[in-house]
Amino acid sequence: MTQTLKISLDELAVFGGSPAFAEQLHVGRPNIGDQEKFQARVADILERRWLTNGGPYLEKFEEQIAALAGVKHCIAMCNGTVALEIAIRALGMTDEVIVPSFTFIATAHALQWQEITPVFCDVDPNTHSLDPVKLEQLITPRTTGIIGVHVWGRPCEVEALSEIAKRHQLKLLFDAAHAFCCSHKGQMIGGFGDAEVFSFHATKFINSLEGGAVVTNDTKLAEKIQLMRNFGFTGYDKTEYIGTNGKLDEVSAAMGLTNLESMEEFVDINRRNYKQYQHELSGVKGLSIFEFDESEQCNFQYVVLDVEESETVVNREQLLEILHGENILVRRYFPGCHRMEPYSSRFPQAGLVLPETERLSQRVLCLPTGTAIGPDAVSLICEIIRTVVSQGTEARERILRREMQFGQGARLR
């Protein structure tokens, strides 16, 4: 696609111009549903004086999440990380658990926090999720489980992971933080493996302020998790398991319910932005948008840009710097857990067996989307990206000269 450029390099903030946007554009600025309905629910909560401990809003939120995911049980939590930690403990995972390194750090931390060693596995370059062949090569007598991550909301190779887990008698948990209201072969994410974990953090397309949930069809597991999120209490002053305080409060549940009512609108806006980015960046050398299978249900909450430096000349970091200067706060998801502490010290050579993770961690950018981003903003973002890539050699040289003159501290923050 050929478009006439309306912006010059001199106009960009990093080269002395003014930022294109007065306010910062975020990848995950919170979606907010009907504020009047939310405020009415909060008023009702305050009137009842039932703020937490399994109130009516929590129960309704859990019922709706379970119905949307097509599962028997939903146990809502204060956040997705605690949900992961409790699910891991409830499943009895110990020793070593295989996970992708190409994921948010909480996936690994939820294991290490419980003194379980995350064994990092490489990903498939096409799906960005666990590579089943490489995963099976990592199984040892110490392996007790697998955690697959539905990155970007695109499902893992569920059947392959399930077969491997069954054959080796391993627990299988899915981190579905990106994948609420996405499907795999016509079945909603939520019912795969022993359990799956959603996030309803403020940055997710459906948020409950803070929040998360474990969903499962295993009734005994659900009962155990319900107890563990409330200190293990089975009755007054009686506990059965080691537990913690993982409960979701009523105000957060009310926010979740309010946003669920606007879910179709949120998905439509995400889809519109995704399609527009695809259209306006098609044909730009070295750039591609990660594609979703539109025959499946998808939330489209991430617009993922792949940057091939050999064609763009400017690399991913330089493009990020330029866009940040314009108040376009693109994100470099993910740096790779193996590159972060404490894992980088414990496994300093991990990158040698994670070539696809290493490659992706140097190429991928997530672009702003959601209800805070309209068509005009998307067009301007794409115009800036096209300008930079079309003059990639000059843009790269100018950034390098700037860094030589002022040092690395010259980079915009």
Supply the pLDDT for residue 378. 98
Supply the pLDDT for residue 412. 45
Separation between Cα atoms, residue 145 and residue 111, nearest integer Å: 11
Q: Per-residue pLDDT tens for 178-230? A: 999 999 999 999 999 999 999 999 999 999 999 999 999 999 999 999 999 99
Tens place of pLDDT for every residue, the chain, 413 residues? 445 567 899 999 999 999 999 999 999 899 999 999 999 999 999 999 999 999 999 999 999 999 999 999 999 999 999 999 999 999 999 999 999 999 999 999 999 999 999 999 999 999 999 999 999 999 999 999 999 999 999 999 999 999 999 999 999 999 999 999 999 999 999 999 999 999 999 999 999 999 999 999 999 999 999 999 999 999 999 999 899 999 999 999 999 999 999 999 999 999 999 999 999 999 999 999 999 999 999 999 999 999 999 999 999 999 999 999 999 999 999 999 999 999 999 999 999 999 999 999 999 999 999 999 999 999 999 999 999 999 999 999 999 998 887 765 555 43
120 contacts: CB under 8 Å, gap ≥ 6: 99, 100, 101, 108, 337, 338, 343, 347, 350, 354, 357
**Whether 111 contacts 99, CB under 8 Å:** yes
- Looking at CATH, the fold of the domain delimited by 9-31+263-330+368-410 is given as Aspartate Aminotransferase, domain 1 (3.90.1150)
For 35-260, CATH number?
A: 3.40.640.10
Q: Per-residue pLDDT tens for 29-45? A: 999 999 999 999 999 99
Give Dmax over CA atoms of the chain in angstroms: 71
On the question of a cis peptide bond just before residue 342, with omega within 30 degrees of 0, the verdict is: yes
The pTM of this model reads 0.95
**Whether 174 contacts 147, CB under 8 Å:** yes
Q: Residue type at 15?
A: F
**Token pair listed for 216:** 């499962």
Supply the pLDDT for residue 131. 98
| Ranges of each domain in the chain | 9-31+263-330+368-410, 35-260
Separation between Cα atoms, residue 210 and residue 397, nearest integer Å: 43
Average pLDDT of the residues of the chain: 96
Separation between Cα atoms, residue 396 and residue 145, nearest integer Å: 45
